[in-house]
Amino acid sequence: MTRQECAEYLKSHDNYLILTHVRPDGDTLGSATAICHFLRRLGKQAWLYPNPEVSNFYMELVQPYFLPENQSYDTVLAVDVASANMIANGYEGKVDLSIDHHPDGGKFCTEACIDATKAAGGELVLEVLELLDTPDAFEADCLYIAVSTDSGCFRFSNTTADSFRAAARLTDYGAHIADLNKKLFRSKSRERMLLEGMICSSLLSYKDARLNIAVVTLEMMRKSGAREEDCMDMADLAGMVVTNKVAITVRELKPNYSKISIRTDGSISSITIAKAFGGGGHLMASGCMIPMEPFAAAEAVRKVVEELWP
């Protein structure tokens, strides 16, 4: 459906339950919370599905909108949910409407408003809501979280002029962009900083630093005090070396068992590397598990990559 039809749908229904996706990120949570708050401002009942995987970072934002136990609902909305198996864990029922920027985001529900050109679902949500009313400052904050996180603070290749236009309008609507940028992109836990220090100082580089391997051991995790939430986007670290073409991150999950994340610039297929160890993925990002201690696993991956080196 068009944005206009989607806006009319939102206006003509009530008692909403809004679904987010598994391992929820800023886009799904920010977009869903913005819609929820907006619908309530229109005088409607709206709740967020209590996604069991919300991180501590986003909990404060979303928890006040969680569906209470025994609360009924009529209209089920999915936001930024790419496919049926991406719906938050524990939800089993119908989906009436999907608003999404993934091309197949509408295949599991009755109605769908999809625009796959958008860097973030939040950009599309903003355009739909604007047809009904001007978002308030809270909704603008939520949508800024959505747009800025999915575009990597407007640095990823999915960023378009529309992303900046969305951010500009959200700023007009009162989004607290300096505070949000500080929280989202310019802050790390002390534990994360200690962990990064250990990873960087033990970085393994080959092929004139075009192949870089970061190793994360259980001992580093213990020494730094880092928890799982301190490990977000850790697979990007090795690839920050300016000469890098292939970045490997080896993470010791338990003794003699390592998780391998592979990122390449596309000149070597990361799938081919992953497949050598029974894994898979995409051209530029793949993964696999190796039942070895981390430095032995790093050496095994290095051999495979060097054999494939163009």
CA nearest 217: which of 306, 297, 301, 303? Answer: 297
CB nearer to Mn ion: give 122 or 281: 122
CB nearer to Mn ion: give 123 or 196: 123
Q: How far is the CB of 82 from Mn ion (least distance, A)?
A: 8
For residue 178, give Cα distances in angstroms to 140, 147, 184, 240, 289. Answer: 13, 15, 10, 25, 40
Which residues are CB-neighbours of 193 under 8 A, at least 6 positions away?
A: none
What's the alpha-carbon Rg for the chain, to the nearest Å?
Answer: 21
CB nearer to Mn ion: give 150 or 230: 150
User: Cα(143)–Cα(17) distance, rounded to whole angstroms?
Assistant: 18
How do beta strands 97-100 and 204-206 pair? Answer: unpaired
User: Cα(262)–Cα(302) distance, rounded to whole angstroms?
Assistant: 11
Q: How far is the CB of 197 from Mn ion (least distance, A)?
A: 31
CB nearer to Mn ion: give 99 or 234: 99
Q: How far is the CB of 79 from Mn ion (least distance, A)?
A: 9
For residue 257, give Cα distances in angstroms to 198, 203, 218, 272, 298. Answer: 20, 19, 11, 21, 12
Q: How far is the CB of 269 from Mn ion (least distance, A)?
A: 25
CB nearer to Mn ion: give 39 or 125: 125
CB nearer to Mn ion: give 80 or 230: 80
Q: How far is the CB of 150 from Mn ion (least distance, A)?
A: 4
Q: How far is the CB of 201 from Mn ion (least distance, A)?
A: 34
Task: Name the site residues for Mn ion (rule: CB under 5 A).
Answer: 27, 80, 121, 150
For residue 282, give Cα distances in angstroms to 207, 268, 307, 309. Answer: 23, 11, 20, 18
CB nearer to Mn ion: give 150 or 162: 150
Q: How far is the CB of 130 from Mn ion (least distance, A)?
A: 19
